[in-house]
Amino acid sequence: MNWYAIFAIYALFWVISAFIVLPFGVRTPDETGEALRPGQAESAPSNFRPGRVAIRATILSAALFGLYYANYVEGWVTLERFTHIG
Q: What is the pLDDT of residue 74?
A: 94
Within 8 A by CB and 6+ apart from 61, the residues are 10, 13, 14, 16, 17, 18
Element (H, E) at 31: helix 29-32
- Please give the pLDDT value at position 81: 82
Residue-level pLDDT at 10: 98
- Are residues 29 and 36 in contact, defined by beta-carbon separation less than 8 angstroms? yes
pLDDT at position 82: 80
49 conformational bin, left if phi > 0, alpha if psi -120 to 50, beta if neither: beta
pLDDT, position 86: 58
How far does CA 47 lie from the centroid of its chain? 19
Kindly give the parts of the chain with pLDDT less than 50. none
